[in-house]
Amino acid sequence: MSNRTICQAGVERPATGYVRDMEHFTIATVAEKSPDFRRVLWTGKNTQLVIMTIPAGGEIGEEVHEDIDQILTFVSGTGEARVAGSKRKIAQGDLVVVPAGTKHNFVNTGPNPLVLYTVYGPPEHADQAVHRTKEEADAAEEAGKDEPPTS
């Protein structure tokens, strides 16, 4: 079993390949249970599913993904979406689309964690990456240790 990894849904996959079988997540429950700032749940050839937990007073951090579209769905908490110079309040059930090349940030403005899941197309992070804090995530990115798979 050294060449295989067990995924969240219990599906085996090659450690260096993409999942070919169906994976099923009760996504709101999985996201709510994760204390990590960022956790990659699934990586495919063209998209990637990531859950995030932003602590009270925290933020994702202003960024631009030049060639990556991003769709974020908010599971719990309250915050502010800052996309392309516009600001809008966000809460549970909201979905925000960030087209490639658009400056964006998401800030937790409430007293509880802001929990979300996001889909990147194509993948943005290393497959199965887990970053407990924003600082850990930023350090991994700066060190080149959070690169999406290629091929």
| Alpha-carbon torsion (70, 73, 74, 80), positive or negative | positive
Residue 22 confidence (pLDDT): 82
Fold of 34-143: Jelly Rolls (2.60.120)
Sketch the domain layout of the chain as residue ranges: 34-143
pLDDT in tens, 76-125: 999 999 999 999 999 999 999 999 999 999 999 999 999 999 999 999 99
pTM over 0.75: yes
pLDDT in tens, 17-45: 555 678 889 999 999 999 999 999 999 99
Strand pairing class (114-121; 48-54): antiparallel
Cα–Cα distance for residue pair 44/26, rounded to 1 Å = 18
